[in-house]
Every structure is written in C-alpha cells, then in structure tokens.
Structure 1
Amino acid sequence: MITNYHTLKYLIQTLKPKLIGSVVVEAFTQEKDTLHINLAKDEDFTLEVNATGQGYIFLRPKLERARKNSLDIFPEVFGCEIIDAGIHRADRIIEISLNSNLKFLFQFFTGKVNFFLVSKDYEIISSFKNPKEFEGRRFEFEKTESNYDLMVGDFEEFRKAWESVENQNPVQKLIKVVDSVDVLLAREILYRSSDGDVEKIWKALGEIDFELKNPKPRIYYDGIFPRYFSIVELKHVDLKKVEIENINDAIRRFVIETKVNKNFYNEKKSIEDKLKNLYDKTIRTIEKIDEEILENRRAEQYELYGSLLMANLNSLKKGMSEIELVNIFSDAGEKIKIKLDPSLTPVENAEKYFEKAKKTRASLKIAQERLERLKMNKEKLEMLIEKIKMCERIDDLKKFKEQNLEDLKIFGIVKDKISEKIGGKFRRFIVDGGFEVWVGKDSKSNDLLTLKYADKEDYWFHARGVSGAHVVLKCGKRQPSKKAIEQAGRIAAYFSQARTSSLVPVVVTKRKYVRKPKGAPEGSVVVEREEVIMVEPKLPSEEIE
C-alpha cells in the first residue's frame, strides 16, 4: 500500500513544505530502476524514487554519489528550484513543479511505474525508463476525475454502481466500483462489513474514509518480515503491528526492511538449496560406491581361480577358452568353471587372475577410502542443513556463515577469493596445517597450474615414470610440515596411472625448478633438483568443491 493513492497523497502533503524552495543539485542513477535526486535547502537531502514492481518514493539523508557506474538523469533541471508539489486529482501521479516551467511526473501505476520530465504543456522531454518510446510525446493522464468522493458520500450512487458490476468476486467488484481502493483496502472494507450486505459495505467504506482523512502509518510484520504497510487499521490482518508517526520514515523503514529481509530469505534459501543438492548428490554417490565395493569384492574369487589354474597346469593347454576344475581348497570339493583367454598359456592365464585380484583389492581400498570421506561429508551436510533451518533473521545467518565458514568453503557454498579467481580450473584439497593443494585436471590445466598459478616457492609434485596430474602445494615462503608434503605426494600418486599400486614414487621439487621447453606438448615439463618420495595413493578427507 506504499503507492496506494491515499498513501501517496498523504506523503506528498507531508513532504511538500520541505520540498518547496529546495534546489535540484543533481539527479542520477547508480543502481537498477532507482533514481536519486539530490536537493539543497537549509540542509542537503535526497529524494529516492524506485521503479521496481509498484515502486516507492521517500526522502532520505543526502546520498553521496558513487565515483563509478552512475549516470546523470534529467540534467536539464540541475540548479532549478522546486516551487510546488502535489498529486493528480484522480490518479497515482505525483507532480513536482520547477521554476524553469518544467515538471517531474512520478507515475506509480502497477506494471507501468516510470518517471518523466515534462514541459508546462506536458510534452515529455525525458523519460527514466524507455526514453525512446516516450520522448517527444505528450503525457496523457489515464483518468481525469475520480468517483471516490461520490461513492463515499451517496449510498444510492454506490448501490447502483455495485449492482451494475457483474464480477462475482467481491474484492475485484469493490475495486471496480470505487476509484483509489486497492486490494488491501477492499479486503479491509469487506471484512468490516461482515456479511457483505451492500449498505454495510458502504458504511464500512465510510469508516475507512474517516481513517484515510486521519491517517496513521502502520507496518504489519510476519515474524521479522514487513508484510503490509497501511495508513488505516487493518482489522482483517492478524499480525504484529508497529505504528510510526511520520509517514516518510514509515515508508523508508518498510522499504529498507523489505529489501534486507528479502535478501536474507533469498540468501538463506540459496544456501539451503545448495546444501540439500549436495546432500542428495552425496547419497547417490555413496549408493553407487556401495555397488562398486560389492563388485570389487571378487578379489578372493580371482585369486582362487589363479591358484586352481596353477594347481592344475597339467590339465590345461593354450587355446582353451574354459575349464571346469574341482575346488581343492574347499571341504565341499565343488566344481568351478573358469573362463580362459585362448591366446594365453596356462601360466599366463593364472597370472592374469592374480593380477586382477591385485587390482581389485587396490580398487576396493580406494573405493572404501572414498566412501569414508563421503560419509563424513554426509554427516557435515546434515549438520549444516539443520543449522541453517534454525536461522530466523539476518544476524542468525551471519553467525551461521562465520561459525561454519571453512565447511561452507570446502563444499563450495561460500566462494572465497581463490574460488572466484580460479573458478573450477583445478581440484583443491586441504592438507595438514591448513595448506591447500591444487591439482590439474588435464594437460591444459596442468600447464596453467604450473606456469601461471603456482608461486616459485610452492612445492610441485608428479608421479614418476607415469602419466598424471601436476600437483602444487600452495605454501609460498611458508614451510609446510612433513605430513603436508606426504599428503600432497599421495594426491599426486592418486591422480596418476599408478593409482592402483600400493606404493608410488613421486617427484617433489620447488616450482622454480620446473620449466617447459619451447615447443613441448601440453603438460610436458622438465624438472631439476628433484627428490623422490614413496607414498601410498590416497586423498585427504577435505576436498574443496
């Protein structure tokens, strides 16, 4: 209701003494759909008007103009004095006259909010929104007269108008019958009329008219959110009410609190949605890895096949594709069918199954370690979701973010400066001492990581003798612990072709000892002064999403 006709009328009557005699210093915009008009009189102040939704208008202390990203609006009136201010007699258009024979028109029609600079004959000189559409045209008022006073003062005229409208929805019907009654006022009038009898509706309209002539600004709160603004009592609204003496202060408070709380709800919902999506993704991944683990538990079976083949070499010969053997390692002595590769010798077939057993065990270990990390993440996500649900105001959300900042960064919910800088170019992990480890994702990002994003004093890692990711321990001139270096080495081993080995040799050096020869393929580098550490391929528990 902050742009209801009666609210705007009361507001401009209140502001008129302050506006008249003030000089327009400048008018500019530095945020979407908002116009700031800086005025000078006994003191400097700003008229702020907004064209979003139904818009708003209020006076505020002087707003200092931003040095960048601001644009002059209506420069023709800079230095002009305001000589009058009022509202159109029939519509939601505030008119402010200047001593230069120019006028501001602030139009607050739903879906058509716009601000114009016009001549004394209402030729549009400039338009805040869609200037090409309006400039040079004459401003046309949609309404010239209002039936409001007639409807309030004459029951018979009201009754005839009421009966002439076919709309069965009483709220919409009342809006059509009486000019300047909006949805909120219509609901209040109908609530006070009880059973909807036409005479009772008219009497309730009279009660509202008395209050509109003796207005008192009120904000109705749904929890901490400002839900309704009204200059009359809303008896149909069962919400906490705060009365404010000055209408300009009340509108400004309503606008600011609405913005703040809307931002709060939007941010809270965004974080909660991201956490829930990550939680659902984690659950799906856990289920998938559970299936992989079941599949990878065939290591014992492969080893049994290899042992049975070695125990029955005399019964085998190259070219066989299958053989059925008695399980001599079982008391039951059951027969087992074993598939063979016809191109391999009996010993090679046995070795193939032993190798499959070895790889399966290694894959199983990796899957189990990953499953452990995911289960930890699942518990953290559950905790974070429960905590954010408890946030009921902006201060709660701020505290939640401060207390859980590291986890929120790790899950990619809160973007730190590093995330904003590198985006998703590299994988990122946290190791001992809080150091970050960055990992290239392919040959191109390996080059990018090593040659552009790594500091010369950072530690650089790569699995020796096999293809793999470039890995950088981000430490600069700080000295990481032996454990952090080992963890970074494990990460390099993990992201290499030797991932399934129990121990992997990994090259360690400072980034300054790594260079790329001219013309070398992507990802290819030359390393000097290298050391080699033997590590088990393994990821740390904390990966930054």
Structure 2
Amino acid sequence: MPFDGISMYAAVSELKDKVLGSRITKIYQPLKDEVLINLRRISDELKLIISANPLNCRIHLTQNNVENPAAPPMFCMLLRKYLIGGRIRHISQFNLERLLEITIENNNEFMQPVEMKLFIEIMGKHSNIILADSSGTIIDCIKRITSDVNRFRQVLPGEKYVMPPVGDKINLLSIDRNIIMLTFESSVEKIPSQTVSKWLVDNFAGVSGASAHEMVYRAGMNESKPISKITCDELDSLVKVILNLADDIRSRNFDPVVYLDNNTNNPEDFWVFPMFHKKEKSTHISGVNNAIDFYYAKKSAVTALEHFKKHALGEVSRNLKKSNQNLLHLKKTLEKTEEMEKYRLWGEILYANLYRIKPGAKEVKLPNFYNPGEEIVIPLHEKYTPARNAQVYFNRYKKMHSAITMSETRMQEALNEINYLENILVNIQNSENLDDIYDIYQELESQGYVKNPVKKNMEKSKSEPLKFKSSDGHIIYVGKNNRQNDILTLKKAKPGDIWLHAKDIPGSHVIIDCHGKDVTEKTLIEAGTLAAYFSKARNGSNVPVDYTLKKYVRKPAGAKPGFVIYDHQKTVYVTPDEDTIKKLSL
C-alpha cells in the first residue's frame, strides 16, 4: 500500500493534535530527498520526518534516530535559516490528495514577524518538499523541476508555487449516496468497460489501487468486472462500503495495521484500516504515526540489510575468485613434478658419463642406469662443458623442487582460505538483521578483506544466535556467523552439550543444550536438520552432519574465526526441510 491520501489524512489528523503551536528547534537532511525536523511543544520533544523518496515518500512523526551527514546540504541550510525558531501554525491537506501545506510563523533578521510555507507533495517519483514565502514565491525545493523536465510547471527559486494537476475527483469527506450514484451513472455512459477498481481510483480523491482493491473486496465483488456489468445489488453493496469508509475517515475511527510476510516477518503493507483481503500476518499498532513509523523503519532496515548483504557478497566473491585462480596456478605448478624429476635424472646421467661426452655436442645418447637397456637422448648447450651442462639441469631441478615445495604449502593455505570465504558466504546468507551483517563486516575488516567497514564507529554487536526447541523440549542454538559460532561453541556451550556441523561443508555451529544428558534420536535428527539447513547444503538431500560432545571440539592456535577441529564424532544423514525449521522455531 503506498502512502495514499487516506493515510496522509489520518497521519495529519494526529499531527495537528501534536505539533500545532510547536517550535522548530533543529533541522537535518539525513538523505538527499529526506528532511527531519525536531520540534518542541511545552515539554514534549517530537521528530517530524518528511520524505520525497520515490519509493518511500511520506510524512509522519518518528521515534527512530537517523545518522546525519557531517556537512548539511544547501537545502538543509536554507531550511535552518528560515524555519528554526518558528512555530507551526497551520497544516492543511488539499481534498484528500497527497498535497500538504504547512504554515510556519517566524521572525526575520530584523526581528519582524514573517510567514513561511512548506509545500509537501507526496507523489511517488514526482514527490517534492518546497519552501516558499507568504506570497507563495518559491525560495527553494529539495528537487528543482526545470522546463526541460516539465514544460507546464516549473519548480524553481523565484517562481510562484502552482499546485500540481490532480483532476476533479470527489472528496470522500463530503459525499453522499446521490453523489456516488450520479458519478457512477456518468462513468457508465462515458467508459462502460472501465473496471470497478479503476473507477474508484479515477473518481475518488485519496483512493489508491490497493485501497480500491480492499473496497471492492469488502463489497464482495470482482475488481476486474466492468462497471457496466455491475448488478443493482452489487452497486448497493459498493455504495455502502464507500459511505462507511467515508464515515470512518470523518470520525477518525482509524485502526492502523501493518502486514508482515508470513515467512520472513519483513514488512509487506500497511493501511490505516484493516485490509480483509490480506493473507499476511497482521500487527495492529496504536496510533497512525506509530504504525507508519514502524512500517517504514522495518522497511528501511530490510533495504539496508539487502544492500549490505549484496555489498558483502561482492567483496567476498571477489576474494574467493582470486583464491580459486591462485589455487589453479598452484595446481599447474605441482603438475610439473614429472618434468622436475626428468632434469634431476639428466643431471645424474651426465655426471656419470662426463668422459663419454664430446665437447661442442648438441645432444648425447646415454644409457639410463635406473632402467637397464634404455637409452636417453639429453639436449646439450654446445658452448658449455659436459660438467656445466649437468649443473644446469641440477639447478633447474633445485629451482623447481623449491617452487613445488612452496606451492604445496601455499596450496593448503589457499584451500583453507577458500573454505573460510565459502563459510562467510553462508554466514551472509544466514544474516537476518543489521547486527548480523555488521558482525561479518567487522570480521572481514579484521582479516584484511575490506579496508573500511560499511558502518563506521560500529557499536558492540548485539546479534545473538538463533534459538530453537526440539520436539523433546531441548533448546538448540544455531550460530549465524563466525563470531556467534566462536562464542556459542567456545564460551557458551558446556562440555556435555552436543555440538553439530555439516560434514566438510561450510555452515553454522549447532549446540544441543543437554548438559551431558542423553538425547533421543529424534532430537539429534532435528538438530542435524538445523545444521544442514544453515549450511551451504541447504538445498541438498542426505546431507552428512557430524556430531560430538562439545568437550571434543577445540580451536587451533591462530585459526581463523569460526574454525575448529574435533574428534570422537558420529555422523547422521538428513535432508533440510523448511517446514521442520518453522516447527522448531521459538
């Protein structure tokens, strides 16, 4: 549901009760298209957020703190110059459209009273925040609209403010049955094929596509049905729904609801009234501004999480690609072992037959004393003595032997790094909130994979492992990243607890909190399912999962975060199942 005209009316109705007469104390511009205004009314401190973001355009009171840029943008400086110290005297909405006018009384530099206006246009990608004087002359705006963008309406300093075209729609606050019927009959004559939902959106101010869908649903109709095909009973039902909605708006009988995804709990929608056609999980919240704030705060957190996860995936994938390329190069070096042994053999045969080699020869055919009866043709440098030719081959052998010995060591290091980075990819996948992803960024920074964390001056992470409960009542913990894995396994778990991990597969540490007591096979299978699900093998089948007592798990000195070794293990085979995960969730 977009921030429609009905939602704006509900939010502004509350705003008037709380902010009229309040003084503007501070102004910030945390984003290029968003303004935060701090207000004080008697002893109350309020924060009003106004956003012209195309996807999140809105206006409401907020309780959330935002990070502000070190240097305020020019529009922010201008708002501070004209508005700080002023009082909000009037807030008006035009005809249930998403157009708002806020009047502020302040004193100019000569201490003379002046009246300033903020015009708020919540119109998707055309949203804007405009500062004007009492005559309506624009001082500046957060988005300047030139004639190149719009030939009919320029929004520029010095221009007179002109309201955007909104059409001649009916105001729900002043309708009755006759008005609705006349509008319907006129539309049937002009556009008989128009659908019911489209008719509602085109003719009633403040109604969006989603709210029109809800109105049609309440009337028990098909939203795609042409208006010319509507029966008298259907029309009567629809008129009642419109009139009831209008009465609820006029009486401010709002009941805001936020809808969350049934699986992820991510915000999906909100409205100032319940939407009965919605199947998602509903959360009723007291206060329209509180509901809007809750919805957009969660939406912002989800957007930020996806952004950071994408960035982290890019950084890790880039390093993983380099490690795989390095591993391929090392494998090619190791493949030269046969050639290395050939040079050693040639050197030995030459040294054993120096007396048989004629000076200046380009090659020599000599018997291979390691394989009686075989003769080997050995190339020679014609300007070198036989002894020097032998030494050249020995030097090549020694150089290649040193390179191969070093490559074997580096190859193991590369394999360890690839395993570590693949485990980080799984951790990123398992991240459920910003604290989880910040943990990963801190780890990546400490290991030298990123120069700067995405969030500077990070506070100590508050992320916690996931918590589940087995069918037999045992608590099961699952680490979502390496920091949590280390804390869970090395600090939180008791020696008698059972530790699980997908066998030879990057994934989470899992702990069954049993304190040395026996657990049933069912609990082991459920914990194994969790270990497999929160691993790289999430979509696999018959995934091997090792389990052992925590006392048999230890971390080698100098090992990377999340890495442990273990023994006394046994293995179960499980198939990850999302339904099982949901049943075990607390």
Q: Same fold (TM over 0.5)?
A: yes
Q: Flag the 1:14–1:129 CA change in 2: closer, same or farther, 3 A.
A: same
Measure the CA separation in 1 of the matches of 2:322 and 2:65. Answer: 46
Aligned to 2:151: none
Give the Cα–Cα distance (whole angstroms) in 2 for the partners of residues 55 and 77 of structure 1. 22
Q: How does 1:110-125 map to 2 (within 5 A)?
A: 110-125=124-139
Match of 1:503 in 2: none
Give 1:296 shift: 4.0
Q: Alignment partner for residue 392 of structure 1, among 432, 443, 447?
A: 432
2:159 match: 137
> 1:263-412, aligned counterparts within 5 Å?
263-331=304-372, 333-397=373-437, 405=443, 409-410=446-447, 412=449
1:209 is displaced (CA, Å) by 6.1
Equivalent residue number for residue 90 of structure 2: 84
Residue type of the alignment partner of 2:254 = P
Q: 1:166 to 1:239 in 2, by over 3 A?
A: same
Distance (Å, rounded) in 2 between the aligned partners of 1:335 and 1:217: 93
CA distance 1:67–1:110, shift in 2 (3 Å): closer
Give 1:50 deviation, angstroms: 1.9
Matched pairs, number: 419
1:323, distance to aligned residue in structure 2 (A): 3.1
Q: Which residue of 2 aligns with 1:147?
A: 170
Q: Is the radius of gyration larger for structure 1 or structure 2?
A: 1
| Cα pair 1:29 1:73 within 8 Å, conserved | no
Aligned 1:38-117 pairs, distance under 5 A: 38-43=38-43, 44-53=45-54, 54-60=56-62, 69-70=71-72, 71-74=76-79, 75-89=81-95, 91-99=97-105, 100-117=114-131
State the one-letter code of the partner of 2:86. Answer: C
Secondary structure of residue in 1 paired with 2:82: helix
Residues 296, 363 of structure 1: 8 Å contact kept: no
> In 2 relative to 1, CA 382–98 (structure 1 residues): closer, same or farther, beyond 3 Å?
closer
Q: Secondary structure at the match of 2:260?
A: strand
Q: 1:303 to 1:15 in 2, by over 3 A?
A: same
Residue 194 (structure 1) aligned with residue 222 (structure 2):
yes
Query: Against the structure 1 CA distance between its residues 114 and 265, is the aligned structure 2 distance closer, same or farther, given a 3 Å change threshold?
Result: same
Residues 269 and 144 of structure 1: is their aligned pair in 2 closer, same or farther, counting only changes over 3 Å? closer
Q: 1:414: Cα distance to partner?
A: 7.2
Say if 1:121 and 1:301 are closer, same or farther in 2 by CA, change over 3 A. Answer: same
Q: Deviations over 1:438-483 (max 9, x none)?
A: xxxxxxxxxxxxxxxxxxxxxxxxxxxxxxxxxxxxxxxxxxxxxx
| CA–CA separation in structure 2 for the residues paired with 1:380 and 1:167 | 61
| Deviation string, structure 1 residues 150-170 (Cα, Å, up to 9, x no partner) | 798534633653785699998
Contact 2:361 2:380 in 1 (8 A): yes
Matching residue of 1:158: 184
Alignment CA distance shift 1:193-1:131 (3 Å): closer
Deviates more, 1:254-263 or 1:269-278: 269-278
Q: What's 2:297 paired with?
A: 256
Q: Residue in 2 aligned with 1:530?
A: none
Is 1:95–1:103's contact at 8 Å kept on the other side of the alignment?
Answer: yes
Decide whether aligned partners of structure 1 residues 210 and 358 sit closer, same or farther in structure 2, where only a CA change above 3 A counts: same
Residue 247 of structure 1 deviates from its aligned partner by 0.6
Q: Supply the distance in 1 between the matched residues of 2:209 and 2:160 (Cα, whole angstroms).
A: 31
The amino acid of 2:221's aligned partner reads: S
TM-score by length of 2: 0.62
Partner of 1:336: helix, strand, or coil?
Answer: strand
1:128 and 2:128 aligned: no
Match of 2:126, SS state, is coil
CA contact (8 A) 2:315 2:449 kept: no
**C-alpha distance in 1, partners of 2:349/2:257?**
88
* 1:239 alignment partner, one of 245, 257, 280: 280
**What is the distance in 2 between the residues matched to 1:202 and 1:275?**
61
Specify the code of the residue in structure 2 equivalent to 1:324. K
Native 8 Å contact 2:312 2:441 kept in 1: no
Shift of 1:146: 1.8
What SS does the aligned partner of 2:335 have? helix
Shift of 1:220: 1.1
| Aligned residue in 1 for 2:36 | 36
2:194 and 2:340 map into 1 onto residues whose CA distance is 76
Residues in 1 aligned to 2:370 and 2:204: alpha-carbon distance in whole angstroms: 96
SS at match of 2:295: helix
- Which moved further from structure 2: 346-355 or 12-21? 12-21
Q: Are the structure 2 counterparts of residues 330 and 105 from structure 1 closer, same or farther at C-alpha, using a change threshold of 3 Å?
A: same
What is the aligned partner in structure 1 of residue 241 from structure 2? 207
Flag the 1:26–1:181 CA change in 2: closer, same or farther, 3 A: same
Query: Cα gap change, 1:234/1:276 in structure 2, threshold over 3 Å: closer, same or farther?
Result: farther
- Cα-to-partner distance string for 1:78-119 (whole Å, 9 max, x where unaligned): 443332212011531111223434322111111122212224
Structure 1 residues 289 and 252, CA gap change in structure 2 (3 angstroms): same
CA-based RMSD: 3.8
Q: CA deviation at 1:302?
A: 0.4
- Over 3 Å counting, the alpha-carbon distance change for 1:415 and 1:317 in structure 2 is farther
Measured against aligned partners, the alpha-carbon deviations of 1:234-262 in whole angstroms (never above 9, x if no partner) come to 33432211111201111122222222232
Deviation at 1:12, TM superposition (A): 0.9
- C-alpha change, 1:387 and 1:301, in structure 2 (3 Å) is same
TM-score relative to the length of structure 1: 0.67
- Residue 411 of structure 1: how far off its partner (Å): 5.1
3-state SS of 1:125 partner: strand
Q: Distance in 2 between matches of 1:393 and 1:318?
A: 77
